[in-house]
Homo-oligomer: A and B are copies of this chain.
Amino acid sequence: MRTSGIIAVDAMGGDHAPAEIVAGACRAHAEGIPVVLVGREAEIRPLLPRRNAPPIQHAPDAVGMGDSAVASVRRSESSSLRVAMRMVADHRADAVVSCGNTGAVLVAAVFDLGVIEGVERPAIGTVLPRADGGRLFLLDAGANVDCRPEQLVTFGILGSAWAEANGVRSPRVGLLSNGEEDGKGNTQVRATLPLLRESGLAVVGNVEPSAAMEGACDVLVTDGFVGNVLLKAAEGAVTTVVQLLKQEIRRYPTGILGAWLLRGAFRRFRERVAWDAHGGAVLLGTRGLVVVGHGRANANAVYQAVRLAHRTLSADLVHGLVRRFEGDVRDDAPADAG
């Protein structure tokens, strides 16, 4: 039943598919991470290196990036995305990496991998850089726009295991709120906090977004609507800051020289805050590992996404979650190979 950590890469998903996807996957493959490229063989073949090329699993169809992607995923069983998912379901691979439409990836994962018993719906987990140098594990970043308190507690359990799989010991779990005292928050938050405190997790209580980014918790739990707003607000603020700083630098001749002297610092800074540097989002709660890269992913972002999948497989995240929710690993569970 065990394979050896093979990662099925959806070569047709993403704005720059297949060229950038194939390039990134080949780089990871060259470094020893076993990869299978899933998609139209005639389009992928010419993009491969002569030596040490990863194998191709042919899939005739591709899911678009637009809003009809979810509908198209339901229709088409022969799309690269669903073929990649079924490779994991059939134990021919251990994880899927796709830079396709996130909603489509989620639907395909639920269809073909299934959801861990006790997890109503999977969540999307995303990592944000923190001001104290740590990482903030945020979920749900967009899968479930309306959540009941019980779902948020499940997200806490999923997120805690996910942070542990990333090397965080006894992750501190915070509930996203607009104030830190118990009793703050909207109806949803006030109903969730008491349940979360009973979960046995290391719950620090309500946490404001700014405090979370400064290190008040490791795991930040919220519904997919608010989590997505938080993520895009942080991205928008960073874009605005960089834009305004550029404008100010251009006003002064010394500014241009200063910026030139700082070019190394700016480059390293970009590498640290760039979302692609973290490899992308992880589906949490599916019976198999799925990493969702950014839709605009270039080769480097794809490479990072494959590396993220590889690291997460090594940490045995999915098996751990299956054991936690279902008591033991069922034989039919397509989970990571560890």
Residues of A within 8 A of B (CB): 67, 129-131, 133, 142, 145-146, 176, 178, 181, 185-187, 189, 208-214, 222-226, 228-245, 247-249, 251-252, 254-255, 257-262, 264-266, 268-269, 272-273
CB distance from A136 to the nearest CB of B (A): 9
User: CB within 8 A of A258: which of B67, B235, B258?
Assistant: B258
Query: Who on chain B is nearest to A145 by CB?
Result: B186
A210 engages B236 (CB within 8 Å): yes
Given the known interface contacts A262-B254, A264-B255, the answer about A176 and B229 at a Cβ–Cβ threshold of 8 Å is yes
Minimal Cβ-Cβ distance residue in B for A268: B248
Name A251's closest neighbour in chain B (CB-CB): B265
Docked pose: A241 CA to B274 CA in angstroms: 11
| Minimum C-beta distance from A147 to chain B (A) | 9
Cross-chain contact of A186 among B146, B187, B211, B233 (Cβ < 8 A): B146
Q: How many Å from the CB of A277 to the closest CB on chain B?
A: 12
* 6 chain-A/chain-B pairs, Cβ below 8 angstroms: A131-B236, A131-B239, A131-B240, A237-B237, A258-B262, A259-B262
The distance in angstroms between the C-alpha atoms of A272 and B230, with both chains bound, is: 22
Query: Do A131 and B243 touch across chains, with their CB atoms under 8 A apart?
Result: yes
Assess the A186–B240 pair: CB atoms within 8 A.
no
Residue from B130, B142, B176, B241 within 8 A of A238 (CB atoms): B241
Pairwise interchain contact A264-B254, C-beta atoms closer than 8 A: yes
Give Cα A226 to B269, complex, Å: 29
Instruction: Point out the residues of chain B lying under 8 angstroms from A129, CB to CB.
Output: 240, 244
Provide the bound-state CA to CA distance between A241 and B238, in Å.
7
* B residues less than 8 Å from A269 (CB atoms): 241, 244-245, 248
Given contacts A234-B234, A251-B264, 6 further A-B contacts (CB under 8 A): A214-B236, A245-B265, A251-B265, A255-B261, A258-B262, A259-B262
